[in-house]
Amino acid sequence: MMLLADAVGCCCWLLLLADAVGCCCWLLLLAVDGMGISALPH
């Protein structure tokens, strides 16, 4: 789970988001994926 969290943190930096809050990326990815635009690799 730590590796996955680190990958998400990397995503945060790529998206120029504050990485201080780890779940910010998950919320963003879930929101984007919820809109039908899959941002997660399948």
Per domain, the residue ranges of the chain are 2-34
Q: Which helix (H) or strand (E) holds 22?
A: none
Of 19, 22, 21, 18, nearest to 5 (Cα)?
22
Predicted confidence (pLDDT) at residue 3 exceeds the cutoff of 60: yes
SS3 state of residue 6: helix
What global pTM score does this model have?
Answer: 0.28
Lowest mean pLDDT across 2-6, 14-18, 32-36: 14-18
Q: Vertex 18, ends 13 and 24: CA angle to 5°?
A: 95
Predicted confidence (pLDDT) at residue 32 exceeds the cutoff of 60: yes
- Output 40 or 15, whichever has higher pLDDT: 15
CA 26, CA 6: separation in Å to the nearest integer?
Answer: 12
Q: How many helices (H) and strands (E) does the chain have?
A: 2, 0
Amino acid at 19: D
User: Which pLDDT belongs to residue 37?
Assistant: 59
User: Which pLDDT belongs to residue 30?
Assistant: 74
State the average pLDDT over residues 13-42. 61
